[in-house]
Structure 1
Amino acid sequence: MPKFTRNAVIAASISLALLGAGCGSAVQAADSSDSPAETVYFGVSGPLTGPSAEYGVYWQEGFDLALEEINADGGLNGIPLELKWEDSQSDPKQSVPIAQKFVADSSIIAELGDFSSGASMAASATYQQGGLVQFGFTNSNAGFTAGGDRMWSTSLTQQYYQTQSAQQVAQDHQKISLVYLQSDWGKTSYDAFKAEADRLGLEIAYESPIQPDSEDYRPVLIKARDAEPDAVVHLGYGPDGARVVRQLRELGYTGQFYGGQNTPQFLEAAGEAAEGTIINENFLIGNTEPRVVEFNEKFEAEYGHAPSTFSAYAYDALHILAEAAERGGPTREGVFNALNEGQPFGSVQFGEFTFSDERRPNDVPIVPVVVRNGQYEKL
């Protein structure tokens, strides 16, 4: 079965589980009334349906693998750990009532999510007031961790990513065309990239926002091509990035493309057009470091396909929170206190790392990744 079709089936299955069917994996019903007292939970607010459902599938796979390992190793100081999922569709209107539900559930000792920074930040005040750690492990907006001392993330900020990206592009090119998502995330990314591009003297010959859910970017991309840039830079996600690079190639553009995302779906959706694409990442899923090789082997043995970086992000997030709960005790304050101790944590992404005063990873480099022969490789 093709990966994209398989992912859609998984997402549909998860959605049905949330509607009331029992499930023996990481997805659990949100009602804790029948939960045994000796079990503790992390809440997950994330997209299982809607435009970002692909990422919920990636999360699910990473969480399930980590959860199996944690409980096989004795859980949290001998107490089993489970997850309570709520489908937010990464929508701020849904993430807030989910936060209220999680805060009111005393069996939940920490929360993971939401996928987008906007959905997470809308709910942050509720988590902060309820004393519940909100671990927004894909939240790159710098404002997320500024929302309170209960907000933590293993994601680097867009300011950091895009500053580094502009520096990399400027090493090899003088004039570019730039397209970016018409969203809060896209505008934040654009502002950071443009500020650094201006500082470096990198000329942006053409720029335009694009709609995340549009199927036809050709009117914009024709203008981007006709500006005769040395490279085209895309600031966005995997699905829109695949459409951008595919349509650029169909329009005859043969220059360098920076963009897309380090996910299986980007390679599948972009096809041959992805060849040569450069993506800035903090993590290469295919690198040969022992911790990554071990993760990849476990993942492929479990699911029969290679992991997405987002599966690795979820896997790390669950292990980090579990480690904090073991160190500080499986309570809300225990998790919070252990994260604040300044001790290192282990991860697939970074190896051993510590959190900064901004409650994000310290001293993590950007890794330029290139698509060669249909696979991601270090540039």
Structure 2
Amino acid sequence: MSKIWSGSRRLRIVAGALAVATAIGVTAACSDDASSDSGTVYFGVSGPRTGNSAEYGRLWQQGFDLALDEINAAGGIDGRKVELKWEDSQSDPKQTVPIATKFVDDKSVIAELGDFSSPASIAASPIYNRGKLVQYGFTNSAVEFTKAGDYSWSPSITLDVYQERNAEWVSKKAKKVSVVYLETDWGKQAFQFFQQFAKQKGIEIAYSSPILPDSTDVKPILIKGREANPEAFVHLGYGPDGALVVKQLRDVGFAGQFFGGQNTPQFISLAGAAADGDIVNGVFSPADPDPRIQDFVGKFRKKFGVDPGDFNVYAYDALHVLVQAAKKGGATREGILNGLRTEKQFTGIGLGTFAFDQETRRPKGVSPRELVLKDGKFVPTGNR
């Protein structure tokens, strides 16, 4: 989502965390007595509240808060109030493992939301699956994430689908491009998919290079990319590094089309005028005239004084989906799983109306939309 499989951790860190998860997971399994018939219903959240990805946790919190207002005002789940139990993971695989154990052992938690990055989520997946606690990785686009087991679910569009659409939209603007991508597992996989689909669509990648997630000066790389005479520049990364790239691209004299960054307030603010006309993958725009979306935008503006973006919507939709699943199957761990398996029509702001494919545990028939940055706001181009 949007570059949804986030994670700046290398595979070796994930592998180490998986080893820990396997050891802990043996003792983490528990019976499904996570909820009684009365009292508050709790969902666990594993996500970044501090660290490099803290901005995403802040956006999640806003989406969750608005969803909680609506859910509890409407009677919660069968008259029971809904609340969240947050744990700050910093989106670090080494921290998500003990958090998963804590949630599995906490019988009041009936499902978990998160983590932000796919590597962080994947590291904890064995524990959630052994503990029979649904892990709802609502921003995890890694194809591998839901393969962990029956309790790993995600509404996120997968990375291959995002990059196929990205290449399609790039091909309408340019046939020769330079590409920069994050020096992370996610960045490498995103580039592999983009490279594959670019070739299919007749796009020449004249220059490509990884960039470090904590880079502050990428001008030497961008100069080489500019000297390849591309018609457009493609960035595969997140908001902060996308803003750095587009600003420094303009500094080194490239005035052509830019594809990259994210639909977040942080990217728009950091990039400024340099990103005007930028095109991104997204799922949501506050400029969408759909009455249901405008109703959501109005409520969000009233509560927070700003327009919502993709990551607000991801969190808002995720909590509503799990509540709907609990109403369908029961406010227990197995009830959540049964609800996700049997509900035929979930409704979200970002994905619209959808159902889950029971084999992949991903939404069926959904796709990203093309957004363009105009006057400081991402608006739909009409392509979906």
Contact 1:285–1:309 under 8 Å retained in 2: no
1:359 to 361, 372, 379: 361
Contact 2:284–2:309 under 8 Å retained in 1: no
Contact 2:284–2:313 under 8 Å retained in 1: no
Residue aligning to 2:373: 371
Residue aligning to 1:84: 85
Residue aligning to 1:249: 250
Structure 2 counterpart of 1:223, which letter? K
Structure 2 residue 275 is the aligned partner of structure 1 residue 274:
yes
Residue aligning to 2:185: 184
Residue aligning to 1:151: 152
Q: Note closer, same or farther for the CA distance 1:77–1:37 as it changes in structure 2 (3 Å cut).
A: closer
Distance 1:37 1:340 in 2: 24
Question: Deviations for 1:283-316, whole angstroms, at most 9, x for unmatched residues?
Answer: 3233111121111110110011111210111000
Q: Please give the residue correspondences for 1:310-325 in structure 2 after superposition, counting only pairs within 5 Å.
A: 310-325=311-326
Structure 2 residue 202 is the aligned partner of structure 1 residue 201:
yes
Distance 2:197 2:275 in 1: 26
Contact 1:282–1:364 under 8 Å retained in 2: no
Distance 1:258 1:163 in 2: 14
Contact 1:279–1:368 under 8 Å retained in 2: yes
Distance 1:73 1:264 in 2: 30
Contact 1:284–1:367 under 8 Å retained in 2: no
Residue aligning to 2:136: 135
Residue aligning to 1:43: 44
Residue aligning to 1:72: 73
Bigger drift between 53-62 and 215-224 goes to 215-224
Distance 1:99 1:221 in 2: 41
Q: Please give the residue correspondences for 1:86-125 in structure 2 after superposition, counting only pairs within 5 Å.
A: 86-125=87-126
3-state SS of the aligned residue for 2:172? helix
Distance 2:256 2:231 in 1: 6
Distance 1:121 1:97 in 2: 13
Structure 1 counterpart of 2:368, which letter? I
Question: Deviations for 1:100-132, whole angstroms, at most 9, x for unmatched residues?
Answer: 000000000000000000000000000000000
The number of residues matched between the two structures is 345
Cα RMSD (Å): 1.3
3-state SS of the aligned residue for 1:330? coil
Distance 2:286 2:337 in 1: 29
Structure 2 residue 59 is the aligned partner of structure 1 residue 58:
yes
Distance 1:48 1:36 in 2: 32
Residue aligning to 1:175: 176
Structure 1 counterpart of 2:370, which letter? P
Distance 1:171 1:129 in 2: 46
Q: How far off is 1:36 after superposition?
A: 11
Distance 1:37 1:218 in 2: 59
Residue aligning to 1:18: none
Distance 1:246 1:112 in 2: 34
Residue aligning to 2:18: none
Structure 2 counterpart of 1:376, which letter? F
Structure 2 counterpart of 1:49, which letter? T
- Please give the TM-score of this superposition, normalised by the length of structure 2: 0.88
Contact 1:236–1:260 under 8 Å retained in 2: yes
Structure 2 counterpart of 1:145, which letter? T
Question: Deviations for 1:211-264, whole angstroms, at most 9, x for unmatched residues?
Answer: 111111111111111111010000000110011001101111110000010011
3-state SS of the aligned residue for 1:283? coil
3-state SS of the aligned residue for 2:356? coil
Q: Which runs of 4+ in 1 moved over 4 A?
A: none
Q: Percent identity?
A: 56
Q: Please give the residue correspondences for 1:217-296 in structure 2 after superposition, counting only pairs within 5 Å.
A: 217-296=218-297
Contact 1:176–1:229 under 8 Å retained in 2: yes
Contact 2:38–2:80 under 8 Å retained in 1: no
Distance 1:204 1:350 in 2: 31
Residue aligning to 1:347: 348
3-state SS of the aligned residue for 1:296? helix
3-state SS of the aligned residue for 1:172? coil
Bigger drift between 168-177 and 311-320 goes to 168-177
Distance 1:283 1:46 in 2: 21
Contact 2:282–2:371 under 8 Å retained in 1: yes
Q: How far off is 1:185 after superposition?
A: 1.1
3-state SS of the aligned residue for 1:306? coil
Residue aligning to 2:211: 210
List gaps (5 residues or longer) in structure 2.
1-35
Distance 1:111 1:337 in 2: 15
Q: How far off is 1:37 after superposition?
A: 6.2
Distance 1:36 1:248 in 2: 58
